[in-house]
Structure 1
């Protein structure tokens, strides 16, 4: 265990942070867009929201590449960990909606309780209805993409915070 900790505190380790952050963003967003466009899996509103933290991770990766210095890497790694944990929270909420543990956001159901004018109502009828957030289109071993995202984001988020703490302590 000590040897692993020593590797993370070596001065050269922080140089890999931009690559790691960009790989995380590319892998997650690439998987989501591949599922959507190559396999025609329509995302719901919560699926789209879950992409936002990974886009932020991509921006943090670019910033990590542009900024030099160990302290900048510590801060960006900690921010990445926090963003990924927020993403895990969003994914956890989505899993709860899929499992019917709680109600979804209003934009997932397609229903509206607002009074609409006739013109607004006609425009609404012409729109293609969005996918319901409680419908699971794809599973692997009985586990949905949102559930995999909870694990992926949670583990990477905790790992990011651990790496930031370890680098700061060095």
Structure 2
């Protein structure tokens, strides 16, 4: 395969993962803060794939690869939060502080149904959560981007 084809393939992989996230969301699995963080790099990888159609250079592959590694890294971090290995953001993980909240904030029920906890697994398959699957797939896509990068340098 050419470097251009590999870049387009990797970008299509990011598009598939992002589409899958939106399908899960449509079926009622609301994303947490970390889930949203994992989506942005996929968007950048998709843009890199579109650029690769016209400009299949090593820089394009590097940007796509870094985007894939970024979302994989956030996926690993999110998986660690879900498994209790480390604390997640206080805005979406248990053990948050009440410092800075007013009495009205603490009594308000306006946002209770809108907060999705980052430390709770909403869906899992084969023992891996969506965040874990995103990390695995994104590392694989980063490898495709790396091969495309190597081919573009030749």
TM-score w.r.t. the length of structure 1 is 0.78
Flag the 1:25–1:123 CA change in 2: closer, same or farther, 3 A. Answer: farther
Measured after TM superposition, the shift of residue 144 of structure 1 is 0.9
The farther-off stretch of 74-83 and 93-102 is 74-83
Flag the 1:90–1:32 CA change in 2: closer, same or farther, 3 A. Answer: same
Gaps of 5+ in 2: none
**Matches of residues 3-152 of structure 1 in structure 2 within 5 Å?**
8=1, 13-17=2-6, 19-37=8-26, 39-65=27-53, 67-68=54-55, 72-109=56-93, 111-117=96-102, 121=105, 124-127=108-111, 128-152=113-137
- Structure 2 distance, partners of 1:34, 1:49, is 17
- Structure 2 distance, partners of 1:156, 1:76, is 14
Measured after TM superposition, the shift of residue 159 of structure 1 is 2.6
Q: Is the 8 A contact 1:18 1:61 kept in 2?
A: yes
Identify, as 1 or 2, the structure richer in helix: 1
Measured after TM superposition, the shift of residue 147 of structure 1 is 1.0
Number of aligned residues: 152
**Larger gyration radius, structure 1 or structure 2:** 1
RMSD: 2.3
Q: Is the 8 A contact 2:6 2:148 kept in 1?
A: no
TM-score w.r.t. the length of structure 2 is 0.85
- More relative contact order, 1 or 2 (CA 8 Å, 6+ apart): 2
Q: Is the 8 A contact 1:82 1:161 kept in 2?
A: no
